[in-house]
Amino acid sequence: MEGEYRRDQSTALLIIVVVAVLSLVSLTLAFSYYCYISNKVAKHLESLSKSPKEERENAAPLSGSRSGEEPPVVVSERRVQVFTYKQLHSATAGFGKGNVVSHGSSGAVYRGVLADGREVAVKIMDRPGMQGEEEFKLEVSRCYYLFFLNLYSTCL
């Protein structure tokens, strides 16, 4: 009887140890997989775009001549398409009041149609000065990161 009791005890102990080891291995594998996926997603997102702060630091200045020249085009390192002021002016029918979609804190948003037929929203900054410029960049970067998957370009 005592031998059978010890055998049952040994079997129970063996089962407990095996279950504990398998649980530990499973948790380790699950955590490793989670870390792998998180790292992969983070690298993918990092390769798609920079943070708004990095973009502001790397962007060209907005100050342009008011003597009829086109304002400079700012291109971030997101590999976005570049449009000239003339192209956007044409797409929005001269930034006409009939094409105003909304008016945000840093400027108006116009509905437009590009030469290739794509419908776009064009935001024009109307607050001069460095603070207005920073607000505009921040608002555009928020649109890019939060709302619009098809943000083609920024032209400042």
Percentage of residues of the chain with pLDDT beyond 90: 15
Residues written for the chain: 156
Average pLDDT, the chain: 72
Contact 92, 112 (CB under 8 A): yes
Q: What is the pLDDT of residue 130?
A: 61
The dihedral of CA 131, 133, 138, 139: what is its sign? positive
The answer to whether the Cα torsion of 74, 80, 85, 89 is positive or negative is: negative
Distance from C-alpha of 102 to C-alpha of 99, rounded to nearest angstrom? 9
Least-confidence region, from 7-16, 48-57, 82-91: 48-57
pLDDT in the model for residue 45: 66
Residue 55 has pLDDT above 60, yes or no: no
Question: What's the mean pLDDT in 52-77?
Answer: 45
33: pLDDT confidence band, cut at 50, 70 and 90? very high
Average pLDDT over every residue of 82-97: 85
- Give me the pLDDT at residue 131, please: 65
Q: Are 88 and 112 in contact (CB under 8 A)?
A: yes
Comparing 38-47, 75-84, 112-121, 129-138, the range with the smallest average pLDDT is 75-84
- How sure is the predictor about 25, in pLDDT bands with cuts at 50, 70 and 90? very high
Q: Looking at the domain 52-147, which fold is it?
A: Phosphorylase Kinase; domain 1 (3.30.200)
Please check the confidence at residue 21 and state whether its pLDDT lies above 50. Answer: yes
Token pair belonging to 53: 């702060």
Res 65 pLDDT > 80: no
Which residue did the predictor score with more confidence, 114 or 14? 14
